[in-house]
Amino acid sequence: MVVIPERFNIAEWFVERPAQAHPTRLAFAGGATPVTYGELCDMVREVGAALLACGVSPGDRILIALPDSAEFAAAFFGAARIGAFAVPVNPFSRAADFAYYSADCGAALAVVHGSVLGEFRGARESGIPERVVVVGPAPPRVAELDSIAWDEWLDGRTTQLEPAATKATDPAFFLYTSGSTGGPKAAVHQHKDMLVTYETFARSILQITESDRTFSVSKLYFAYGLGNGLYFPLGAGASTILDGERPRPERVLALVEKLRPTLFFSVPTFYATLLREAEGRNVDFSSVRMAVSAGEALPVEIFERFKNRFGLEILDAIGSTEMLHMFISNLPGKIRPGSCGLPLPGYNAQIVDDHGTPVPARQVGSLWVRGGSAFAEYWNKPEKTAHARRADGWIVTGDKFYRDADGYYYYCGRADDMMKVSGQWVSPTEVENALLGHAAVAEAAVVAFREETKLYTPKAFVVLKNGIKPGPELVRELQEFVKQRITSYKYPRHVEFVPELPKSASGKVLRYKLRQPES
């Protein structure tokens, strides 16, 4: 049971508290300049003072479009420190995306990287805030934007700023979901939510300590990356590796070898990419004591390949933006490959049918979850909030799962990814996992394909390993291979070889982009 004080501010707990205990300890590595806890604390206070000087008030929204960096952390916690709401978004977004985010949350001020300032100008007419703080090489001032360089903005600001007397249940930050249909929704999280996920996963499952160094391939503007790369290590007084570049396998492996993380976080597709990159070369992964996967179910084949290659069992878990971080997880030393694990202490999960009635073990249904880190609402979207958050606290995840006789949960896919073949439900992940067992397959994604008969059958999009040539014979070989591994009616009637799969910025496969357009 997580004990939460009535008065609680995340900037005070995750930044001020560890800075007072060990101000000279390294907080951030990997950037151009290492940052200590004392330096981070001063930056957060300076940002808070600068926001107040700009007229920002408690409850105002601060849009943050920055790569992973000390400036991201200072802007995020600086906003929370004065009772404003931090709204981190993808720094590689386009003008239309920035316009949507800013207008949707009603941002009072934006903190952006200089490389995207032009995109902000392109979105100006759609509600981008006039006040923009620019991090990085200072470009010329952009017409129609009241922009100021980060260093100039903070110059001379006081570090003697007391945190706002926020309650644990006050809103602290927004995180946008990446839905496949409609505009993204901003999940509103309260100050207490970070403490809940830190205690229930980082401390209880990962057993993080001040001796750890974390490295997250998923970026800070995602709920998953925000915990892995920011408030988990800060909460423990540990250090973290921040990399502002887009994740590339060769760069990630180089950083692992150079900076020696002990906790490594990624998603299934990137683990597969790392295995391809590591083929035929020496890679030193020996510093990592635990590797964690989330975002989608980790295929057994990738689990086994990674274990054989690096001697590590990947800890698979499941979380969501709405729940902030993990709520179901495997346990170190008790991992059941293919499963997402068991509900974490403090969380309840159930699998229900279309009427909300719990289903028996091994029957596929919709996953509902309940726990202390659940989002408060979708910002300004009461109808969507009512659909996702029930009055009794259950959160409708939109995921299909089943549970085995021992209570372990197995991911089957998003509700809109499931398909009926021969009158029976087929999970795309089951077919994908079967394909991944073939020696020629590096990655696979399966979607429903509508035949001329108007019935649906599975279609597989396959990325082959280096040096493997596609062809009709390989198609037939893959189809027969799947038939031998799972129930034969689930085999892919169509196989298309592709150089890569469409993925979100977090590394999830975007199956909806592979589906046929509706006619």
Mean pLDDT of 95-118: 90
Please say whether the dihedral angle defined by the alpha carbons of residues 222, 224, 230 and 235, taken in this order, is positive or negative.
Answer: positive
Q: Give the pLDDT confidence of 129-147 residue by residue, as tens digits.
A: 778 999 987 555 555 567 8
Mean pLDDT of 270-293: 92
Parent domain of 21: 10-179
Q: Give the pLDDT confidence of 464-478 residue by residue, as tens digits.
A: 998 999 999 999 999
Of 121-125, 177-181, 205-209, the one with minimum mean pLDDT is 177-181
Identify whether the C-beta of residue 464 lies closer than 8 Å to the C-beta of residue 470.
yes
pLDDT, position 144: 58
Give the dihedral of Cα atoms 402, 392, 342, 321; nearest 10 deg: 90
pLDDT, position 138: 57
Residues 6+ apart with CB under 8 A from 108: 55, 56, 57, 60, 61, 62, 84, 129, 131
Q: Which residue has the higher pLDDT, 21 or 517?
A: 21
- Percent of the chain beyond pLDDT 90? 71
- Tokens matching residue 14: 């995750």
For residue 364, is it within any domain?
no
pLDDT, position 428: 87
pLDDT, position 315: 98
Identify whether the C-beta of residue 208 lies closer than 8 Å to the C-beta of residue 232.
yes
For residue 486, is it within any domain?
yes
Please say whether the dihedral angle defined by the alpha carbons of residues 223, 226, 227 and 231, taken in this order, is positive or negative.
Answer: negative
For residue 366, is it within any domain?
no
**274-301 exposure pattern, b = at least 16 Cβ within 10 A, e = fewer:** bbebbeeeebebeebebbbbbbbbbbbb
Choose the final residue of a domain: 151, 179, 207: 179
Choose the final residue of a domain: 179, 208, 243: 179
Q: Give the pLDDT confidence of 250-280 residue by residue, as tens digits.
A: 999 999 999 999 999 998 888 988 998 998 8
Instruction: Look at residue 507 and tell me whether its pLDDT is greater than 80.
Output: no
Choose the final residue of a domain: 140, 157, 179: 179
d(CA 85, CA 166) in angstroms, rounded, equals 12
- Residue in the block written with tokens 């950083």: 255
Q: What is the domain count for the chain?
A: 2
Q: Give the pLDDT confidence of 209-255 residue by residue, as tens digits.
A: 999 999 999 999 999 999 999 999 999 999 999 999 988 999 999 99
How many Cα atoms occupy the beta-carbon half-sphere of 146 within 13 Å? 9
Identify whether the C-beta of residue 266 lies closer than 8 Å to the C-beta of residue 272.
no
Beta-strand relationship, 107-113 and 131-135: parallel
pLDDT, position 180: 46
Identify whether the C-beta of residue 161 lies closer than 8 Å to the C-beta of residue 48.
yes
> How sure is the predictor about 361, in pLDDT bands with cuts at 50, 70 and 90?
very high
Q: Give the pLDDT confidence of 54-105 residue by residue, as tens digits.
A: 999 999 999 999 999 999 999 999 999 999 999 999 998 888 888 889 999 9
> How sure is the predictor about 288, in pLDDT bands with cuts at 50, 70 and 90?
very high
Mean pLDDT of 16-25: 97
Instruction: Look at residue 31 and tell me whether its pLDDT is greater than 80.
Output: no
Identify whether the C-beta of residue 112 lies closer than 8 Å to the C-beta of residue 66.
yes
d(CA 441, CA 305) in angstroms, rounded, equals 13
pLDDT, position 376: 98
- Tokens matching residue 140: 């010329």
For residue 126, is it within any domain?
yes
Q: What is the CATH number of the domain that holds 122?
A: 3.40.50.980
Instruction: Look at residue 295 and tell me whether its pLDDT is greater than 90.
Output: no
Residues 6+ apart with CB under 8 A from 283: 253, 256, 257, 310
For residue 482, is it within any domain?
yes
Mean pLDDT of 328-349: 96
Mean pLDDT of the chain: 91
For residue 265, is it within any domain?
no
Q: Which residue has the higher pLDDT, 480 or 426?
A: 480
For residue 49, is it within any domain?
yes
pLDDT, position 131: 86
Q: What is the CATH number of the domain that holds 490?
A: 3.30.300.30
Mean pLDDT of 489-494: 91
d(CA 315, CA 339) in angstroms, rounded, equals 10
Of 170-179, 464-473, 508-517, the one with minimum mean pLDDT is 508-517
Q: Which of 29-33, 293-297, 328-332 has maximum average pLDDT?
A: 328-332
Angle at 134 between CA 214 and CA 223, to 5 degrees: 35
Specify the DSSP element, H or E, that contains 472.
helix 472-485
